[in-house]
Amino acid sequence: MGTSVLPGRASGAVLSASEGLSFWGGVDPTTGLVIDAHHPWHGESLAGRIVMMPTSRGSCTGSGVLLDMALNGKAPAALIFSGAEDILTLGAMLADRLFGHPLPVLRLSPEDFAAVAAQPEATITETSLDAGSLSIPLAPLPVADLALTDADQAMRDDPGPVGLAMEIILAMAAIQGARDLIDVSQVHIDGCIYASDANRVFAEKMADMGARLLVPTTMNAISVDRENWQAQGVPPKFGNPASRLADAYTRMGARPTFTCAPYLLDTAPTQGEDIAWAESNAVIFANTVLGARTVKHPDFLDLMIGMTGRAPRSGVYLDDNRRAARVIRVTPPAGADDAFWPMMGYLAGQLAPDRIPLILGLENLPASRDDLKALCGAFGTTSAAPMLHVAGHTPEAAMPPAPGADDITVGRDDFTRIWSELNQGPDDLQLVALGSPHFSAEESRALLRELGQRRPAPGVHVVITTSRQAVHDLCTDGAHQALTDLGIRIVQDICWCSITEPVFPPEAKTLITNSGKYAHYGPGLSGRAVRFGSLRDCVTAALTGKAPGLPAWLKG
């Protein structure tokens, strides 16, 4: 027996994978083609196919990408998962409810999932899934009695946008198996990135309906430098809709913070605080490092929660769901530099793609806030989990693992493999890309120290993407001017996940980054070859135009 999470009818060729895919950064919504260079589906089209994977992974913006695919006629015919999945499910729900594009979503047992995945084609109805000789009956989601407060009921009955928001929240609560809703103290909006025009259409539709945010709300990085994009030469056909998208959220009451690192702001939550954040790296940092509590909310649901101040009580809002389900034992290579932390996050995500891990063995390895930022950003690239624990570094690492948690040991060879995966580009490069997630002021000052008074080699661009707050801090102590004098370009509001030409230097064919997240997504997003290394490696590359080789700490 399977579950019709979102019932409907569909038929098509089956496309199955044993690992998840982030639709943002992984799929071109205008064509339906997979652009994630590290995924086995790379180059495949999802359009019109029965797409099967255990769950999605990566970015919360996948909901917007799927919605855009539906509006473009390039969406899958149906989605089938073997585990819980929220991000693409929410995108499919809105495609149907707001725009009349139904897209069935099913959940199967692992056994049925494997059996269907082996078939070339499948047909879905409201009551069955048929594939070859298989016929699997489908049942609707079980109806749970949600305990609603009087205020919840009043919002549900509202004839305007608040009623729509509560309708979507209650539908997601049913999908997540929640029994009631909780108050949240703040929201972080991820849907302000112009990943597709569907994001703008949705936001302007809600703003025009009179939607207003009820709780304090910050905004993610956007797709243009809001104040300077015209001077930077960004084409109006991109700059105008990207600006309109950002403006739609500020019209609804969001604070124009424009950063993918809201945990660096003065409004960062504290341990035990219930919040509702989207943006995968921010969610993971909040849960992991700050000990705050938030599900990895899909884009669009973040707005709905902000309008009501209420979220389903599910996932890692609950104590028991924050326990590790896999233990990863690590012996850090002697002499490891700051590149270790994003590599550790990337590896941990590969080893725990659908569950929370506990990392042991790093208790004596120093880790700064920026190291943990890099860890969380890379982990969210390869895992669907909303957090991880690192003994000696994160506040809930002493929590006993869940019953049945298994145990994996990793060593130098595993990190050497990760380095090779993230270093597939040539040695000659023209761009150093820093700030995914947004560079902190401290990281920018560290770059200045590494450079000394040296300027990048001719033909090599060094670009930092960062927040308005960090720019203010760097201007205050003179670091901004010092970096600019050396030819370093500092761009606010946008990040590498959303940067476009000409802000992205058009002549650059190969780049290096110290971000595990951007090393993964960069080839698909930019069409460029990518190298990865430590901050010092990036400086060496800037000065020489050459990417350093395998670091000494990874050599036997």
The CATH number of the domain holding residue 540 is: 3.30.499.10
Residue 436: inside a domain:
yes
Q: How many domains does the chain have?
A: 4
Please compute the mean of the pLDDT values over residues 330-352 and round it to a whole number.
98
Is there a single domain that holds both residue 154 and residue 131?
Answer: no
Token pair for 301:
């649901």
Q: What is the reported pLDDT for 442?
A: 98
Alpha-carbon distance of 276 to 258, in angstroms, equals 17
Band of the pLDDT at 109, cuts 50, 70, 90? very high
The residues near 75 (Cβ < 8 Å, ≥ 6 apart) are 32, 46, 47, 66, 69, 95, 101, 103
Phi-psi region of 507 (alpha: psi -120 to 50; beta: other; left: phi over 0): alpha
The residues near 420 (Cβ < 8 Å, ≥ 6 apart) are none
**Which residue among the candidates 4, 16, 56, 59 is catalytic per the annotation?**
59
Is there a single domain that holds both residue 293 and residue 266?
Answer: yes
Is there a single domain that holds both residue 262 and residue 401?
Answer: no
Alpha-carbon distance of 101 to 97, in angstroms, equals 8
Is there a single domain that holds both residue 280 and residue 371?
Answer: no
Strand 217-219 relative to strand 78-81, pairing: unpaired
Residue 298: inside a domain:
yes
Alpha-carbon distance of 89 to 92, in angstroms, equals 5
- From the number of C-beta atoms within 10 Å of its C-beta (0-12, 13-18, 19+), residue 527 rates as exposed
The answer to whether 82 is a known catalytic residue is: no
Per-chain mean pLDDT for the chain: 97
Token pair for 273:
């605080």
Q: What is the reported pLDDT for 556?
A: 73
Residue 156: inside a domain:
yes
Where is the domain boundary, 140, 168, 189?
140
Alpha-carbon distance of 530 to 10, in angstroms, equals 39
pLDDT digits (tens, 9 = 90+) for 153-186: 999 999 999 999 999 999 999 999 999 999 999 9
Where is the domain boundary, 268, 291, 319?
319
Q: How far is CA 27 from the centre of its chain?
A: 14
Is there a single domain that holds both residue 270 and residue 360?
Answer: no
Please compute the mean of the pLDDT values over residues 398-415 and round it to a whole number.
97
CB-CB neighbours of 507 under 10 Å: 10
User: In angstroms, how far is the first alpha carbon of the chain from the final one?
Assistant: 51
pLDDT exceeds 90 at position 343: yes
pLDDT exceeds 90 at position 11: yes
- In 3-state terms, what secondary structure has residue 530? strand
Is the CA virtual torsion 148, 64, 278, 403 positive or negative? positive
Is there a single domain that holds both residue 166 and residue 232?
Answer: yes
Residue 145: inside a domain:
no
Q: What residue type is assigned to position 547 of the chain?
A: A
Is there a single domain that holds both residue 170 and residue 78?
Answer: no
Band of the pLDDT at 196, cuts 50, 70, 90? confident
pLDDT exceeds 80 at position 200: yes
Residue 466: inside a domain:
yes
Is there a single domain that holds both residue 158 and residue 285?
Answer: yes
Band of the pLDDT at 376, cuts 50, 70, 90? very high
Contact 221, 272 (CB under 8 A): no
Band of the pLDDT at 362, cuts 50, 70, 90? very high
Q: C-alpha angle with apex 285: 332 to 309, nearest 5 degrees?
A: 165
Token pair for 32:
């339906």
Residue 16: inside a domain:
yes
Phi-psi region of 551 (alpha: psi -120 to 50; beta: other; left: phi over 0): beta
pLDDT exceeds 80 at position 508: yes
Domain CATH for 227: 3.30.499
Global pTM exceeds 0.85: yes
Strand 134-140 relative to strand 2-6, pairing: parallel
Please compute the mean of the pLDDT values over residues 401-426 and round it to a whole number.
97
pLDDT exceeds 80 at position 422: yes
Residue 291: inside a domain:
yes
Please compute the mean of the pLDDT values over residues 401-408 and round it to a whole number.
97
Nearest CA to 308 out of 182, 199, 204, 475 is that of 182
- In 3-state terms, what secondary structure has residue 418? helix
Q: What is the reported pLDDT for 144?
A: 72
Which residues are bridge partners to 407 per DSSP?
A: 327
Is there a single domain that holds both residue 477 and residue 527?
Answer: yes
CA distances from 336 to 239, 349, 366, 534 (A): 41, 20, 11, 10
pLDDT digits (tens, 9 = 90+) for 210-250: 999 999 999 999 999 999 999 999 999 999 999 999 999 99
Where is the domain boundary, 387, 420, 453?
420
Residue 536: inside a domain:
yes
Q: What is the reported pLDDT for 195?
A: 87
- Please count the helices (runs of H) and the strands (runs of E) in the chain: 17, 22
Q: What is the reported pLDDT for 466?
A: 99
pLDDT digits (tens, 9 = 90+) for 448-474: 999 999 999 999 999 999 999 999 999
pLDDT digits (tens, 9 = 90+) for 48-103: 999 999 999 999 999 999 999 999 999 999 999 999 999 999 999 999 998 999 99
Is there a single domain that holds both residue 172 and residue 302?
Answer: yes
Q: Which domain holds residue 21?
A: 2-140
The CB-side HSE value for 451 (13 A sphere, CA atoms) comes to 24
Contact 270, 226 (CB under 8 A): no
Is there a single domain that holds both residue 362 and residue 312?
Answer: no
Is there a single domain that holds both residue 157 and residue 302?
Answer: yes
